């Protein structure tokens, strides 16, 4: 099937990593159109997926934009929408992977008469978006999309609660290749030596640095943990949250955690880093739509503690495949870390259960099959 994928980001967030896996089976015939240049383009090219940066003009709709700001921004997009509509005529379907891609994709789908699929990676609630943004997304999806793929039931529910038509939604979890998450003991030892982590209990946090990802919660929890507990933070601020980065460094100094915390920046070698941790912490303070890092930690065979909200609840079964704690609660996080440190055998059993379950529930093969069936259904319902 010939698909025009659209994504607003040049950077590598979870939605973009997910799109690479979805686009791969279509790489002979698809085009990924980006609304910004950056490392996402490079990774698509490395995977032999044809990619084109369609504009470098930044689109000024922010997560908290007002109606006037959104409308004036949309009007400046008219030439871009025209170009995308023209390109779309060579494809059978438009697949919008992010909200700004939905805005241009919806109107291009109308002009080119190509069906629109919207992959919704966000929870459309007041925690994450202004009312205007939610209204724009839901109105465009309801009016123009033949299918909305939600990355979790939590995302699907929020879409419907925001006024979305439930009959056009389907839940498809992110898929993973379990084999890619297996590591050798030697690689793990090498990472631990290089980062001087030997003899420490290492808690890993793998996420872009952003207030709602809650890195500050882990720092605070650390202050309540025994001194051998150390944290590594993997990820950088992707969307201009530089103030938060400074706040985190200040917090490290105030809590005198300099010797127990490492910020490693954005890394592409997530697997050996995760495998080198004794525990992976997920600390989002607002509901996480899906949470790739949770599944990745499970596949690496590492115990996970996650904030009990949004999609995380669908991924982790408390006490069986991980530990769920109330969001934004450093005390409970410290207790979960201590219990994992003090009962390593129990933690290893839970991690093993999680690894087996995650390789079955989140296999990329199943995700790709599900997406392929859904896209065929969209295409045939329009031609049939």
List, edge to edge, every strand of the sheet that includes 229-234.
261-265, 229-234, 201-206, 279-281, 304-307, 323-325
The residue number with the shortest CB distance to ligand UDP is: 14
In this structure, what token pair is assigned to residue 154?
């939590």
The two three-digit tokens of residue 242, written as one number: 């530089």
7 or 220: whose CB is closer to ligand GLC?
A: 7
| Residue placing its CB nearer to ligand GLC in the complex, 121 or 216 | 121
Q: Which residues pair with 147 in a beta bridge?
A: 117
Q: Does 235 bind ligand UDP (CB under 6 A)?
A: yes
What is the C-alpha to C-alpha distance for residues 50 and 11, in angstroms, rounded to an integer? 17
CB of 17 to ligand GLC, least distance (A): 7
17 belongs to the binding site for ligand UDP (CB under 6 A): yes
Q: How many CB atoms lie within 10 A of CB 197?
A: 17
- Per-residue binding string, ligand UDP, 319-348, x by CB under 6 A, is ------------------------------
Report if residue 296 touches ligand GLC, rule: CB under 6 A.
no
List helix spans (H) across 281-343.
Answer: 292-299, 312-315, 330-342
DSSP state of 282: -
Give residues with Cβ within 8 angstroms of 310, minimum separation 6: 123, 152, 154, 155, 284, 286, 287, 288, 289, 290, 291
Q: Which of ligand GLC, ligand UDP, none does 208 bind, CB closer than 5 to 8 A by kind?
A: ligand UDP
In the 8-state DSSP scheme, what is residue 176? Answer: B
Give the position of tokens 């909305």: 148
The site partner of 151 among ligand GLC, ligand UDP, none (C-beta below 5 to 8 Å per kind) is: ligand GLC
Site mask, ligand GLC, residues 140-169, x = CB under 6 A?
-----------x------------------
Interaction of residue 13 with ligand UDP, rule CB under 6 A: yes
- Tell me which residue has tokens 């389907």: 170
User: Smallest gap, in angstroms, from Cβ of residue 292 to ligand GLC?
Assistant: 4
**Spatial CB neighbours of 117, under 8 Å, sequence gap ≥ 6:** 93, 94, 95, 96, 145, 146, 147, 148, 149, 374, 375, 378
Residue closer to ligand UDP (CB basis): 12 or 81: 12
Site for ligand UDP in 186-215 (CB under 6 A): 206-208
Q: Binding to ligand GLC by residue 115, rule CB under 6 A?
A: no
**Nearest distance in Å: CB 210, ligand UDP:** 8
Within 221-240, which residues bind ligand GLC (CB under 6 A)? none
Q: What is the DSSP letter of 320?
A: T
Q: Which positions touch ligand GLC (CB under 6 A)?
A: 13-15, 18, 121, 151, 174, 288-292
């Amino acid at each position: 099937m010939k698909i025009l994928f659209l994504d607003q980001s040049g950077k590598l967030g979870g939605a973009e990593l997910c799109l690479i896996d979805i686009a791969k089976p279509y790489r002979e015939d698809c085009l990924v159109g980006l609304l910004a240049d950056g490392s996402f383009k490079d990774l698509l090219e490395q995977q032999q997926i044809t990619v084109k940066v369609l504009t470098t003009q930044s689109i000024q709709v922010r997560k908290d934009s007002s109606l006037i700001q959104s409308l004036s921004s949309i009007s400046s997009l008219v030439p871009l929408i025209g170009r995308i509509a023209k390109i779309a005529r060579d494809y059978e379907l438009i697949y919008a992977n992010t909200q700004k891609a939905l805005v241009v994709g919806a109107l291009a789908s109308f002009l080119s008469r190509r069906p629109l699929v919207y992959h919704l990676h966000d929870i459309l609630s007041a925690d994450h978006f202004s009312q205007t943004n939610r209204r724009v997304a839901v109105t465009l999806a309801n009016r123009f999309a033949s299918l909305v793929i939600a990355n979790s039931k939590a995302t699907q529910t929020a879409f419907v609660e925001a006024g979305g038509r439930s009959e056009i939604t389907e839940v498809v979890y992110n898929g993973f290749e379990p084999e890619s998450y297996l590591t050798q003991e030697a690689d793990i030892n090498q990472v631990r030596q290089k980062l001087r982590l030997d003899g420490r209990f290492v808690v890993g946090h793998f996420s872009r640095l952003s207030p709602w990802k809650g890195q500050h919660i882990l720092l605070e929890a650390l202050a309540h943990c025994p001194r051998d507990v150390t944290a590594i933070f993997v990820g950088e601020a992707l969307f201009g949250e530089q103030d938060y980065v400074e706040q985190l460094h200040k917090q490290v100094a105030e809590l005198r955690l300099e010797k127990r915390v490492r910020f490693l920046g954005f890394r592409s070698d997530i697997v050996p880093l995760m495998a080198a941790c004794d525990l992976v912490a997920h600390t989002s303070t607002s509901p996480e739509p899906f949470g790739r890092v949770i599944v990745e930690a499970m596949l690496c065979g590492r115990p996970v503690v996650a904030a009990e909200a949004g999609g995380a609840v669908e991924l982790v079964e408390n006490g069986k495949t991980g530990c769920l704690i109330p969001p934004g609660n450093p005390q409970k996080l410290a207790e979960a870390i201590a219990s994992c440190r003090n009962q390593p055998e129990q933690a290893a059993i839970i991690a093993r259960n999680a690894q087996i379950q995650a390789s079955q529930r989140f296999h990329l093969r199943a995700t790709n099959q599900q997406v392929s069936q859904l896209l065929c259904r969209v295409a045939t319902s329009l031609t049939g």
